[in-house]
Structure 1
């Protein structure tokens, strides 16, 4: 498999990551170990050097199962580790223990050590806060992150699902301490869900952060009719969502047909054309789902096509500024 991947700087850092990031949430609970390893092999061969996971992933197999599976793949060929930008997350409950969750300094330290053990590595390249913890002072969070950096256990710090104001606050606290601050934000962003354009993406751009878009297919809605075979759209809520947007989705499918591209590839390409976006997370369950979109970063959408897409899925910005004048 030829490597034609495009790489981009992660925000203002000098780190280069692939425009497609391999998400691993399906690995273990929905995709067997053998198939997961095959997808990881294919992604690595195709030049994807950015792999994202989280300590809570595992579904019915239990929290940590996906990290453990990924650690097994890394252990098969340790030489691959140095060529991969490995990202994981902290925040979600890992047990019934009241302190085994959130962003306390204690939990951040313990969770990082546990992730390192499951992943079978000595450091994590990008350690992301999975959600905001309103009870944790930013000074406490940075104390923990600075300690992990000093210990060589993590390299960069990122956020996920953070609002714009929290991104600004975290970066200002870091700047006051003469620290790099946040490298990136991993946000829900796709053609259907564009609220990140209001304040999250502008905040990231203002602070020189990369944006990593998760759920680029909107849970399968943007993947076209073939997504039904995936099982992602079998839930009643997803079917209702598809019915509610039937006209939009049909117009989008028609546009993609005129482009000679699948809806999945166009949805990904659109994201990678958006200002501030560094990488889009793909979470394939099967090998063919990966290989069918590997060309998306090279797909160029002209201004007319982007305008047509906006006509189908209108932007939600700019953000209102209330009484500001």
Structure 2
């Protein structure tokens, strides 16, 4: 998470993007920002990703050597840099042997085009297989996993967190505020409206809002976050971010603020340290429910185990 000493001097050192974000526009914006600030390149960590379609051709997507070599070169050009600090597979590719992907990453590291390798949106067996292959073949190791992780979505704790801790892989959670839910801006049984992630697209908004609104667990978690926030005199966003930033194996948090005001508020979480009591309250309220074996007793729905 970016360090912060107040909204007037808040700063971050980790910038995460991807080629597919607005078809390269996000990387171009980062590139222009870097170009306008001499010396900034040495003070920040630049991370980007490749995997998803950037064109209509057969080689314009996937984790093949052909696509990734083109994707990486294009990302370097848009970012205006010679080396990407962290290059990530944006998701698993079932059509490409992972050995081919890992071989490309290793070659790119040796060529000085990327410094470290990461993955995003992998499930447990995929991450474990990839990690073991890098060890067995002497390839550049996987150093980060970027998954969805927040108080409302804790499913990575079933297997992925254990893999990361065992293989010394850092976790970079995306959507730490669950698409805005953990900010407290959505109300029970009231369709989202206005300038919110869900309110600006009524059709998509209701499709995403309805299932989560119907779960009593959602509102139980939000009540717990609001309780801690009110008692500490901080925003719900800061509480939710502080909780996820302190989880085992988490090394940074991917913020996705829509306004400067939101960013200023989010950066305040860097200075917030939750007490053991507050952490326990949030962890207990958000403990996921598992339906069956192997995470629960066969045929019996129960609360999942929680990490320390």
TM-score, structure 2 normalization: 0.84
What does residue 233 of structure 1 align with? 198
What does residue 275 of structure 1 align with? 248
Cα distance, 1:212–1:316 mapped onto 2, change above 3 Å:
farther
C-alpha displacement of 1:72: 1.0
What does residue 285 of structure 2 align with? 312
Q: Distance in 2 between matches of 1:43 and 1:208?
A: 33
Tell me which moved more, 245-254 or 166-175.
245-254
Q: Is 2:65 aligned against 1:105?
A: yes
Q: Contact 2:105/2:140 (CA < 8 Å) preserved in 1?
A: no
What does residue 36 of structure 1 align with? none
TM-score, structure 1 normalization: 0.80
Which of the numbers 51, 63, 85 marks the counterpart of 2:15? 51
Q: Contact 1:195/1:316 (CA < 8 Å) preserved in 2?
A: no
Q: Contact 2:118/2:142 (CA < 8 Å) preserved in 1?
A: yes
User: Does the residue aligned with 1:159 lie in a helix, a strand or coil?
Assistant: strand
Structure 2 unaligned residues grouped into runs of 5+: 187-191, 200-204, 298-308
Q: Distance in 2 between matches of 1:164 and 1:242?
A: 25
Cα distance, 1:197–1:98 mapped onto 2, change above 3 Å:
same
User: Does the residue aligned with 1:264 lie in a helix, a strand or coil?
Assistant: helix
Q: Could you report, residue by residue, the CA deviation over 1:239-269 in whole angstroms, capped at 9, with x for unpaired residues?
A: 3256323454234323321222211000000
Q: Contact 2:62/2:93 (CA < 8 Å) preserved in 1?
A: yes
Which of the numbers 118, 139, 142 marks the counterpart of 2:99? 139
What does residue 130 of structure 1 align with? 90
Q: Distance in 2 between matches of 1:134 and 1:269?
A: 35
What does residue 10 of structure 1 align with? none
Q: Larger strand proportion, structure 1 or 2?
A: 1
- Residue correspondences, number: 281
Provide runs of 4+ in structure 1 moved above 4 Å: 42-45, 226-230
Q: Which of structures 1 and 2 has the larger relative contact order (alpha carbons within 8 angstroms, sep 6+)?
A: 1
What does residue 160 of structure 2 align with? 200
Superposed CA RMSD in Å reads 2.5
User: Does the residue aligned with 1:72 lie in a helix, a strand or coil?
Assistant: helix
Q: Contact 1:213/1:279 (CA < 8 Å) preserved in 2?
A: yes
Q: Distance in 2 between matches of 1:96 and 1:44?
A: 45
Which of the numbers 264, 267, 276 marks the counterpart of 1:294? 267
C-alpha displacement of 1:166: 1.0
